[in-house]
Amino acid sequence: MASIARVHAPSGQRALIITSLAVPLTGWTVHAVSLHRKLAATRREIADRRDPLTGLLGRDGYTTRARQITDRYGDNALVAFVDLDHFKEINDGRGHAAGDRVLAATAQRLAAWAGSRGVVGRLGGDEFAVAVRIAPARRELRLAQLVTLLAQPVEIDGGSLVDVAASVGAASPDVLGTTDLSVLQRAADAAMYAGKHTGRAVLADRPHATVPSINGRRGGRPGTSILGAAA
């Protein structure tokens, strides 16, 4: 059998070869770590981004914090959706400055109601979401307080008052049997529209969680059309 010749490089040359191979690997490692840090910083920036009008978290930041609350507090967690009633009439009739004042006041009231154990987000337009820790025994009272708080007139420029009202739908893990935020939010959204203009908050039950939705939104809402047709 033919023998395999082995070429033995001097030790200095072997060290040079190893170093030459290691330099590209080290460069890629440093690049990967740097890229990872930049991506993490970008995610934190997005999560902490605030709505310039209300100062509330946007959808991404709210979702991150809300999921932490539902995962941590389980049956003591509550997710609520809030939609202002007749907001377009305020915007059209009293002007956009008045509409902005109503949105800012609503945000302040929601933040005060949620307190330090909750998080509030502006999902867009006059739509808000809240995730908060509330014991089931106090849930009905706290939701009634929220509806009353949101129905207080808002003072606009010139000292005049604007009458406002809001529809509120809520969902909780103990009723729905899940802490999945997407399920809770879908149910809260459906409950909110079930009680639209009733002047009371509606707590979702299991059927609310099965209402058909498109991209996580109840069918028929703005932005849920398919190929130009209403869902």
Question: Which residues are CB-contacts of 131 (< 8 A; sequence separation ≥ 6)?
Answer: 62, 65, 66, 69, 70, 77, 78, 79, 80, 114, 118, 119, 181
* Residue 16, pLDDT score: 62
- Mean pLDDT over each residue of the chain, to the nearest integer: 83
Cβ neighbors of 223 (< 8 A, separation 6 or more) are 215, 217
Contacts of 179 (CB under 8 A, 6+ apart): 70, 71, 74, 77, 173
- Dihedrals φ, ψ of 214, to 5°? -125, 120
pTM over 0.85: no
Average pLDDT over residues 192-215: 87
**pLDDT confidence of residue 230:** 33
- 96-114 helix and 139-150 helix, angle to the nearest 10 degrees: 160
Active site residues: 126
- The token duo for 79 is 């997710």
Q: Is the pLDDT assigned to residue 216 strictly greater than 60?
A: no
pLDDT of residue 217: 56
pLDDT tens by residue, 69-124: 999 999 999 999 999 999 999 999 999 999 999 999 999 999 999 998 899 999 99
